[in-house]
A and B are shown apart, each in its own frame.
Chain A
Amino acid sequence: MIEFKNVSFRYSNEEGAPYALADISLNISRGELAVVVGANGSGKSTMARLLNCLLVPTAGKVFIDGMDTSADENIWKIRKKVGFVFQNPENQIVGTVVENDVAFAPENLGLPESEIEERVSYALEAVGLIGRREFMTAHLSGGQKQRLAIAGVLAMKPDILVLDEPTAMLDARGRDSIIRLILKIKNELKITVVLITHFMENALIGDKLICLEDGFARYAGAPHAFFMKGGEFISKFNLKQPFAYELLNILGERGIRFAERDYIRASDPAQLGAIIMGAVKNAR
């Protein structure tokens, strides 16, 4: 669905200007949830902007569903396919009433009224705001505003949803609601999702984890295998281990060993207690 072929990008063409992305090659398959992590300034947002032709590669190619993003005739087809949600929902909400805000994009696509109505209901249903369709957008909580911003994008019926730190501004409750929604979008709406995040706990929900450092892709693969490499490896990228992995790794160093399947199970924080009770029983 998404293919990066030897992609490099820099913001300035002056000689000696630094590369924001350097020789990145990777694939994200249809229906996959890919999580992108890395330090501030490692190239995550640049990578996201290459997905919908806001930027085109300085060298190499990006293909969306087989279409080259650097070809002018593909720009609008690609932008219809790839929906974007940013950190601050306030910047993305245009309407004063919830349903009008969601209707904004379909109206601008020139769709018939019945189709617009159908899409607004579909999107609000998906994000769980259908009961608040007549609310003022200003009266929503932070988490609800972010869900509304996502609904505005879902109403465009994208094939790919890109979320750039969608939970950075939210409290724990808002964050959980967005993560549950992202999983639902992937599982039920079958949309390919690219999630950029600094929350390592959330990085574990991905089918694939991509770690960037200074513009290079240092890892692309299963999230649990990345975090199993231990704290020292992870901190090289200015990242931290998710809590469960930190705990299992500390216990491992002190003699209570865990198998790979324990680490995979630990991706779900609700399982952690049971995993530890099991290990302690076996050790006795």
Chain B
Amino acid sequence: MPAKEVLISLKNVGFTYNRGLPTECAALFDISLDIVRGEIISLIGHTGSGKSTLIQLLNSQRMPDCGEIRWHMDGVCDEKGLPVRRRVCAAVGLVFQYPEDQVFEETVYEDIAFGPRQMGKTPEETEKIVFRTAELMGLDKQILYKTPFELSGGTLRKVAIAGVLAMEPRVLVLDEPMAGLDPKSCDGFASLLLGLRECLGLSIVMVSHNLEYSAALSDKIYCMSGGRIVLSGTAREVFSDRAKLDEHAIGVIPAASVAAELAASGMKIEKTPLTAEELAGEILNNYGK
């Protein structure tokens, strides 16, 4: 297996809002993590735990006031090794929770073309990028000439992501990508994310309250509470640690919590299940079939 290619590394990072003012408010403490090429990671934790602040650090919208954050991607830093914010923002694409917040042009085409144009691409290059990105996102060519505001929520979200992908980022950061989508659209969206990782080798950082999707998609999950990472690991590792999840009000996934209950009643559970299918398997093992 090839060595892991670290794209962004954070070491003991801390961040305080309004430093030195009476309204000073510490938001992050001692955060260390690596964003690895081609990995999907999820940040989970209840409202106010620091998830949104952390993703703002990833694309240099905010700089840490202690510790160190480094971007290891080509061309992002100047000759002194300092990050150039404009380049970081292009390399680390951020999609907000409400796609309508970041879609603003008159047609879908113009909206997707905005980023590449700002980066100085020629009209021909821009057109190529727009078509390629639209195809990648499964957006119909006809949609490109519509105004974004008559599209459904799910399609609008794809347009917003296409606008970010057109800047050819290495890391895609999504804040609550599933909010407001119906259950089947959520599934479609999940396979889309896996496809993007597959095709582009993107790293994906997801902030989500939907723990079942986080469990299904992520290579690694970081649980945050009070501005700290309190638990991290694979989905199975994280959702096995019931005590920590409860302590920090992070929530549980139903398969794991029912399994814990069954285990307490004397059933043998080999490994923490993450889905109904896996839990059914564990139950049937006890049943002697």
Contacts and interface: CB of A to CB of B under 8 A. Distances in A.
Contact of A276 (B48, B262, B277): B262
B64 interface: no
A152 B116 CA distance: 45
B262 A273 contact: yes
A172 B265 contact: no
Given A40-B152, A247-B279, A277-B265, A239 B183 contact: yes
Interface string B250-271: 0100110010011001010000
B161 to A, nearest CB: 16
A41, A235, A243, A283 interface centre (most CB from chain B within 10 Å): A243
A255 B284 CA distance: 9
A251 interface: yes
B276 interface: yes
Contacts of B267: 277, 280
Contacts of B174: none
A254 interface: yes
A171 B47 contact: yes
Given A40-B152, A141-B47, A174-B47, A280 B185 contact: no
B209, B284, B288 interface centre (most CB from chain A within 10 Å): B209
B77 to A, nearest CB: 36
Contacts of A111: none
A269 B48 CA distance: 27
Nearest to A143: B47
B48, B152, B183, B185 interface centre (most CB from chain A within 10 Å): B183
B138 interface: no
Nearest to B284: A254
A173 interface: yes
Contacts of B249: 173
Nearest to A246: B276
Interface in A42-82: none
A138 interface: no
B286 interface: yes
B75 interface: no
Q: Sort chain A's interface into a size bin.
A: 35 or more
B283 interface: yes
A170 B262 contact: no
A198 B183 contact: yes
Contacts of B184: 39, 235, 238-240
Contacts, number: 98
Contacts of B289: 254-255
A272 B258 contact: yes
A277 B283 CA distance: 9
Q: Sort chain B's interface into a size bin.
A: 35 or more
A175 B286 CA distance: 34
Contacts of A87: 180
B182 A198 contact: yes
A48 to B, nearest CB: 15
B183 A238 contact: yes
A169 B179 contact: yes
A250 interface: yes
A254 B152 contact: no
B287 A283 contact: yes
A39 B188 CA distance: 13
B46 interface: yes
A200 interface: yes
Contacts of B279: 247
B97, B277, B283 interface centre (most CB from chain A within 10 Å): B283
A158 interface: no
A269 B258 CA distance: 9
A189 interface: no
Contacts of A142: 47
A273 B261 contact: yes
Contacts of B180: 40, 87, 165, 168, 198
Contact of A171 (B46, B255, B288): B46
B181 interface: yes
Instruction: Give the 3 A-B CB pairs with smallest separation, nearest first.
Output: A273-B261, A238-B184, A172-B251
Interface of A: 38-41, 87, 141-143, 165, 168-175, 198, 200, 235, 238-240, 243-244, 246-247, 250-251, 254-256, 269, 272-273, 276-277, 280, 283-284
Given A40-B182, A243-B276, A247-B280, 6 more contacts: A40-B154, A143-B47, A169-B179, A170-B209, A251-B280, A276-B258
